[in-house]
Amino acid sequence: MTAPDTEEMQVRADMTDREQQKSEAYALYECAEKEYYDSKLREADAHLEQVLPMFKELEDYEMQAKTYNLMGVVHAAIGNVAQEIDSYIMGLKCAREHDVPYTELVSLNNLGSHYLEIEENEQALQFFEECREKAQYLNADVFPRIAVLRRILSENLALAHLKLGHLEQAEHYLAQAEKNLAQKDVQVYDVRLLRNMILCRKGMEEEVRKNLPELEKCLLDVSEPADFLTRVQEYVTLLKDIKAYDYWERIVSIYYRKMGQYHNTEIRICVLEMCMDYARTLHREEDYKNLCVQYVDAVMDRKEEDRQERKEIADIKVELFCKEKERATEAREKLAMQELAETDALTGLGSRYSLHRYGTDLLEKAKEEHTYLVVGLIDVDCFKQYNDTYGHVAGDRCLESLSEVLRQCLRRAVHEGACGRAFRYGGDELMVVLTDIDMDGLKRFAEQLQNEVRALRIENPNAPNRGIVTVSQGYFCQIPGDTESLEDILKKADVQLYKVKDADKDDYLITVGA
């Protein structure tokens, strides 16, 4: 039986987690999309806010751009213009930065549609023309949805030109839309409405009146509230232009009765505004007054929803801020624990735990560069006797002083080009691991350490030489072979140290291996 490859298992686990996260993100996006079409706009917005960072983490830029666009559409239906435009622009930016051409075109079309709705027709036309110019280069085999976008774009170009009084261009783009028309209710209605708007602009009102029954039937087949909002307003404008009050009354009555089905205050307000416009135009004062009362109630409801939304946004922001603080605190605590684990509490030098990680890194560096690795052991002479004489507290202070001297010597060596770190190996035994240091530099390092320890003048009457604390040093230098471990070189350095200890102490020995 073969043992499992731990690294491979981890990769598989990471892939499984990623696939699960991707599946959850797509499901959440589809949920938001359905909520939008069901006119549950607040719920859709909340889910889109939730899914956006998921797509960012997955680096799924196409879905990230699509999410921004859907957020813009949702905010448009809610009536939040600032967030609508911000979302479209972020979708456009994401699509351009990460080469998502289809979604870039959707963003341009949506921005144009916004300007069209607010009667800024020249600005709308600029976005539509840019979108049209780029759309002609996309291959339908690669981007199957491009045909639908081109048809919608043709309709928008026709409407923009019509509003600007460019009848010839409007008919040109309408003919393109009719050519690509798929036989579906909303699409049929849009094209027929445009055709009748052009006929009306040409003064052919009688022909438009003949077409109204079929046009009304198509409109009544539009079941989605979100689709209704944009389409019925253009239809009512056409009815007003030809003074078709009977059709106007019928459509406002139908949508007034259906108003209770829309779980969205913005749609209620739009329907009431349409009804109020009709009642005012036809001088139906009593109906107008009743509608005004309902309109005020709807506006007050929207204000309450806006207040609740602001509260929810504030709560989310505060919650995110608190979580960010918690994460920062956790990160600092984790870093502090890691530093504690990697640093010897008494001396401030590296611990035995960090020796393995850092020393192995230097060993691999020496192997790759085919350079010398130096392992040095430093032992305090007669330290047991020092502790017996002065106590362990004094012994700890002594080790702290020696460690600071070792740090300063190492700092100078690093400044001269060496790479390395010092550790407390155990008890009174200190250790250095170095690369990128030549023999002269190593001798200088050992002599400085020896002399500066002596210069501390820490009394130790038990020491055989000088009556002060001294250190013995053993260094082994070697270009490590492929199978050489840090422990192998450490053992050789240990031999050099005990040669010094067995002699007169207070000295150093450097040996270069093959």
User: Which pLDDT belongs to residue 256?
Assistant: 84
Contacts of 252 (CB under 8 A, 6+ apart): 236, 271, 274, 275, 278
pLDDT digits (tens, 9 = 90+) for 161-172: 999 999 999 999
Neighbour count for residue 131 (Cβ, 10 Å): 24
Angle at which helix 61-78 crosses helix 265-281, to 10 degrees, equals 40
Cα–Cα distance, 286 to 351 (Å, whole number): 88
Distance of alpha carbon 425 from alpha carbon 66, whole angstroms? 57
Quote the pLDDT of residue 262. 66
Question: Contact 479/366 with Cβ under 8 angstroms?
Answer: yes
Region of 382 please: left (phi>0), alpha (psi -120 to 50) or beta: left
Q: Which residues of the chain have pLDDT under 70?
A: 1-15, 181-187, 222-230, 261-263, 313, 316-317, 320, 328-341, 514
